[in-house]
């Protein structure tokens, strides 16, 4: 089974645009679980332009499924993760000013850095996933750094899906096979949607988890949140 983790950052973006607490990020996270999502993802950034550190602290004790915190491992981020103890931390190489994640780690170049970051999380019993491009070497060095999983950065797949789906998915299949060979779990995320998700799942049936935010929340404007989550879960069957 591939788990659907809903990224609620966009809910926080909408709330922050007006101030106050509408929409309520915690309530939406709980509703996502109630409607069938198997996980909740948050990605706090240093400027707290969407998810705030206070949101993370509020959501963590209420989530009954899997809680995943993703972000760049700055000192404040590392302290937050170790404080709230999520089920999974996903390390991404975003600089502070990044609009959204746009590349995976160069795990070979940053091997020693990642080793030092990953070890304390694992000592705390937190599963560690490393965000990588679909390159077998990047997957290999994530394993050498001590990661439990990799999350494949799927924007290149999504961008070329409608032009040539088979060509678009091929590097991801190779990277997924590399992950299996190194004993890593496998996640995927970025620009996955109702058009391209099932095809990815068909070609990589052993995906552990997909993390989806922007497209899912956008679809919910038309279908409603409950029906949207059901539609995404149908794509993963």
Binding site residue list for 3-amino-2-oxopropyl phosphate? 7, 18, 191, 213-214
**Distance from the first to the final alpha carbon of the chain:** 8
User: 33, 140, 151, 190: which one is catalytic?
Assistant: 190
Q: How many residues does the chain have?
A: 237
Tell me the HSE value of 19 on the side-chain side, using a 13 A CA sphere: 0
User: 33, 43, 151, 209: which one is catalytic?
Assistant: 43
Q: Annotated catalytic, 209?
A: no
User: 66, 70, 151, 209: which one is catalytic?
Assistant: 70
- Taking the C-alpha atoms of residue 77 and residue 42, their distance in angstroms, rounded to an integer, is 12
Q: Annotated catalytic, 190?
A: yes
Q: Annotated catalytic, 85?
A: no
- Taking the C-alpha atoms of residue 12 and residue 93, their distance in angstroms, rounded to an integer, is 22
**Cα radius of gyration rounded to whole Å, the chain:** 17
Please report, in range form, the residues annotated as the binding site for 1-deoxy-D-xylulose 5-phosphate.
Answer: 45, 50, 100
CB 215 within 8 A of CB 235: no
CB 152 within 8 A of CB 176: yes
Name the nearest CA neighbour of 7 among 49, 35, 45, 37: 37
Please report, in range form, the residues annotated as the binding site.
Answer: 7, 18, 45, 50, 100, 191, 213-214
Catalytic residues, which ones?
43, 70, 190
């Amino acid at each position: 089974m591939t788990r659907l983790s809903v990224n609620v950052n966009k809910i926080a973006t909408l709330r922050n645009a007006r101030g106050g607490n509408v929409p309520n990020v915690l309530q939406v996270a709980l509703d996502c679980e109630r409607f069938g999502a198997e996980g909740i993802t948050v990605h706090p950034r240093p400027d707290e332009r969407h998810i705030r550190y206070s949101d993370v602290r509020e959501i963590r004790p209420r989530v009954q499924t899997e809680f995943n915190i993703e972000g760049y491992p700055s000192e404040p981020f590392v302290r937050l993760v170790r404080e709230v103890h999520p089920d999974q931390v996903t390390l991404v190489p975003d600089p502070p000013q990044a609009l959204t994640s746009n590349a995976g780690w160069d795990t070979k170049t940053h091997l020693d850095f990642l080793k030092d970051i990953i070890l304390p999380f694992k000592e705390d019993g937190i599963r560690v996933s490393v965000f990588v491009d679909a390159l077998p070497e990047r997957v290999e060095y994530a394993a050498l750094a001590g990661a439990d999983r990799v999350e494949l950065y799927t924007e290149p797949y999504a961008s070329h899906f409608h032009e040539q789906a088979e060509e678009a998915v091929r590097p991801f299949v190779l990277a997924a096979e590399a992950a299996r060979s190194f004993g890593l779990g496998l996640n995927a995320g970025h620009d996955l949607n109702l058009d391209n998700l099932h095809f990815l799942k068909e070609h990589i049936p052993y995906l552990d988890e997909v993390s989806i935010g922007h497209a899912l929340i956008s679809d919910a404007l038309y279908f409603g949140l409950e029906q949207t989550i059901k539609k995404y879960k149908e794509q993963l069957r």
